[in-house]
């Protein structure tokens, strides 16, 4: 294990208590949405109870998670940015990508709704209205999967949001929970994955204002880091985790995760098998 990997392994974000054997763990690079929502707290103990293998999660933005995996600081990568996931595989950093689950993004904002977008189902049109009104918008600005989605929506809207940086467009450089907190504090709109929003406590007068656009679809993929690129990867344990995650038990565990009685993530591994 290299020095960086040892530091990351010590930074336990989610998962059960340490196992007896220092070798019986894997390091998963993943996103703040999977950790902050509580999903990992729900599913990982089930995997560990079955296999005896502990899963230690480093929860960062997707861009950073991919960089960490490329630096061999992880055994498994679980993120939500399909183009970058496909590139990760194409560049030889993983043998393949597995569909694992999906949910969606939503846009949230204050009850006052200064851009008058509440109830819209066209995310790009809603962003156009925000830009025209110069209403505050809080962006993660952290190269995460959510940030990537947001930028693609601005592009679809034909808006150069970066030109308004520091004015009505505010980049937090933070994770999802911190960005929601900043948005609430400044009365700004923001884009968030639904699960993090559902788990967020200090909503104030904020509510979902835009949802239901197919462009807000949010798929997650899981990949085993290639031992050819990273000889330190625990291939057998990492693949065991992936097989469990995309198998019937893992998919059922994902489906059973709820917040406020509502399912937050929807299994998709079976859909991949059906679709080839």
* pLDDT tens string 102-115: 999 999 999 999 99
CA distance 71 to 216: 30
**What is the per-residue pLDDT for 26?**
98
Q: What is the mean pLDDT of residues 89-118?
A: 98
Inform me whether the pLDDT recorded for 98 exceeds 70. yes
**What is the per-residue pLDDT for 202?**
82
Q: Which range is least confidently modeled, 9-23, 144-158, 216-230?
A: 9-23
Q: What is the mean pLDDT of residues 174-189?
A: 94
**What is the per-residue pLDDT for 5?**
47
Phi and psi at residue 139, to the nearest 5°: -105, 145
Inform me whether the pLDDT recorded for 164 exceeds 90. yes
Beta bridge partners of 12: none
Give the closest residue to 96 by CA, choosing from 267, 236, 219, 242: 242
**What is the per-residue pLDDT for 23?**
59
| Burial tier of 78 (Cβ tally within 10 Å: 0-12, 13-18, 19+) | buried
Report how many helices (DSSP H) and strands (DSSP E) the chain contains, helices first. Answer: 12, 12
Inform me whether the pLDDT recorded for 16 exceeds 60. no
Inform me whether the pLDDT recorded for 19 exceeds 80. no
- For the chain, what is the mean pLDDT? 91
DSSP string, 160-199: -GGGGBTTTEEE--S-HHHHHHHHHHHT-EEEEEHHHHHH
**What is the per-residue pLDDT for 114?**
98
- Which pLDDT band holds residue 199 (cuts at 50, 70, 90)? very high
Q: What is the mean pLDDT of residues 218-244?
A: 98
**What is the per-residue pLDDT for 201?**
85
**What is the per-residue pLDDT for 93?**
98
- Which pLDDT band holds residue 42 (cuts at 50, 70, 90)? very high
Q: How far is CA 159 from CA 109, 147, 153, in A?
A: 19, 15, 9
Q: Which domains does the chain have, with CATH numbers?
A: 3-102+219-275 (3.40.190.10), 104-216 (3.40.190.10)
CA distance 54 to 7: 17
Give the closest residue to 268 by CA, choosing from 244, 248, 251, 253: 251
């Amino acid at each position: 294990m290299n020095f960086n990997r040892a530091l990351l392994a010590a930074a336990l974000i989610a998962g059960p208590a340490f196992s007896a054997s220092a070798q019986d763990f894997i390091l998963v690079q993943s996103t703040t949405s999977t950790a902050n929502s509580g999903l990992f707290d729900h599913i990982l103990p089930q995997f560990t109870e079955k296999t005896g293998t502990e899963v230690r999660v480093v929860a960062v933005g997707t861009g950073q998670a991919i960089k960490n995996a490329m630096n061999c600081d992880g055994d498994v990568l679980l993120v939500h940015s399909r183009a970058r996931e496909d590139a990760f595989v194409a560049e030889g950093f993983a043998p393949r990508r597995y569909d694992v689950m999906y949910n969606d993004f939503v846009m949230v904002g204050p009850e006052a709704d200064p851009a008058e977008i509440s109830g819209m189902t066209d995310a790009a049109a809603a962003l156009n209205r925000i830009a025209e009104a110069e209403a505050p918008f809080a962006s993660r600005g952290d190269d995460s999967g959510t940030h990537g989605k947001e930028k693609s929506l601005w592009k679809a809207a034909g808006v150069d949001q970066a030109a308004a940086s520091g004015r009505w467009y505010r980049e937090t450089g933070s994770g999802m929970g911190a960005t929601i907190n900043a948005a609430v504090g400044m009365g700004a709109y923001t884009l968030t994955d639904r699960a993090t929003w559902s788990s967020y406590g200090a909503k104030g007068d904020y509510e979902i204002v835009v949802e239901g656009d197919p462009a807000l679809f949010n798929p997650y993929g899981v990949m085993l880091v290639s031992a050819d690129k990273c000889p330190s990867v625990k291939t057998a344990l990492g693949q065991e985790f992936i097989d469990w995650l995309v198998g019937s038990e893992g998919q059922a565990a994902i489906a059973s995760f709820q917040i406020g009685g509502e399912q937050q993530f929807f299994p998709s591994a079976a859909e991949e098998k059906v679709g080839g």
